[in-house]
Amino acid sequence: MALKTTRGDKAGPLKGRGAPSNVEGRYESVAREAFEDGWPREEEMPARLETVITPQAAKSIIARNESPDVPFEQSINPYSGCEHGCVYCYARPSHAYLGLSPGLDFETRIFAKTNAAELLRKELSAPGYRCSIISLGANTDPYQPAERELRITRSILEVLVEFQHPFTIVTKSALVVRDVDLIAPMAAKDLARVFLSVTNLDAELARRLEPRAAAPYRRLEAIRRLASAGVPCGVLVAPVIPFLNDGDLESILEAAAEAGASSAGYIVIRLPHELKGIFKDWLEHHYPLRAERIMARIRDLRGGRENDPRFGARMKGTGEYAELIRRRFERACRKLGLSEGGRTGLDTSAFRVPGQSTQLPLL
């Protein structure tokens, strides 16, 4: 069980980490809150937290999706938790299922599904399998720092190439360019697309929002290199956060289009479960003068609440401000020649199970 301590208000976030604290998950039976009592603390957070990678033998690898809000039915997440440390990440609450904190545990205690390729080959070979686009990175980033050494995502791509199975990739990492030798030939057959998430063009804001993700200019360079190799690329402005990065929407789309992106999408910030407290704590540390204004606008987007989980509303928000963002996005896409979405429409007809005949047996 991870240590569930909360840092004092004056301590501030740890360098290189996103969450300011290690809040309890919603399934914990005991909650603790720090307060000043005049005594020295026995459980002070260290000045630096190391990342711990734990190998995990997963029981299955393809997750099925029934949400009407996302454009795919299947996804694979090679890692649980994400070292990028994006403070706004809607996947943070998933760490509570592991008995860990959605705060610092989420970005320092990573579980790597080392048997992913083996499971994927087995699941794709099952007699009843129906080919549908697989999205890599729907929850946590498939190219977070551990991937450089573990190469789990690359092993998954190798299986998808072997089966000629269509896939999309969503990432904040320039490491995706490493696998262009696998991605580009699939893209040439309309079997692959890559999407880079770019939330802003301000290096200082990026360092605070997403401390261990690639810098914005490196993500744009990744788009440039992939597009030059013939890989259709999209840019995702995800999330749009009022009074933090919403003013950068058009400039992000323009920079991505110049780099070679052909499609674009956006998502308005979501704050499910424990993420509400984590994000508000982060605001108080980094932007105390704007914190209440930002949260008030988020509530405007969410019908007066801090989160709205309803299908059809959770991704884009509702109300006048949500409509304004939508109009700005659509106008910029028209001006720049970017198609909206781009995460559907890949070819599924080339799928085959290696070693199996594509001809029907003679009767």
Tell me how long the chain is: 363
What pLDDT score was predicted for residue 4? 38
What pLDDT score was predicted for residue 121? 98
Cβ neighbors of 182 (< 8 A, separation 6 or more) are 154, 157, 158, 161
What pLDDT score was predicted for residue 125? 97
Q: What is the 3-state secondary structure (H, E, C) of 150-181?
A: HCHHHHHHHHHHHHCCCEEEEECCHHHHHHHH
What pLDDT score was predicted for residue 342? 64
For the beta carbon of residue 45, count every other beta carbon within 10 angstroms: 19
CA–CA separation, 347 vs 189, rounded Å?
8
Q: Is 266 helix (H, G, I), strand (E, B) or coil?
A: strand
Q: In the chain, what are the domains?
A: 55-84+110-340 (3.80.30.30)
Residue whose entry in the numeric block shows the structure tokens 């080339």: 350
Q: What is the residue-level pLDDT of the chain in tens, covering all 363 positions?
A: 333 333 433 455 788 898 888 887 666 655 555 545 454 444 555 567 899 999 999 999 999 987 777 778 999 999 999 999 999 999 999 999 899 999 999 999 999 999 999 999 999 999 999 999 999 998 899 999 999 999 999 999 999 999 999 999 999 999 999 999 999 999 999 999 999 999 999 999 999 999 999 999 999 999 999 999 999 999 999 999 999 999 999 999 999 999 999 999 999 999 999 999 999 999 999 999 999 999 999 999 999 999 988 887 888 999 999 999 999 999 999 999 999 876 668 999 999 999 876 554 444
Peptide bond into 239 cis (omega under 30): yes
Cα diameter, the chain: 85
Q: Is 85 helix (H, G, I), strand (E, B) or coil?
A: coil
Q: Taking the chain, what is the end-to-end CA distance rounded to the nearest angstrom?
A: 60
Eight-class DSSP state of 42: S
What pLDDT score was predicted for residue 28? 61
Cβ(274)–Cβ(103) under 8 Å?
yes
Q: How far is CA 335 from the centre of its chain?
A: 27
CA–CA separation, 68 vs 354, rounded Å?
32
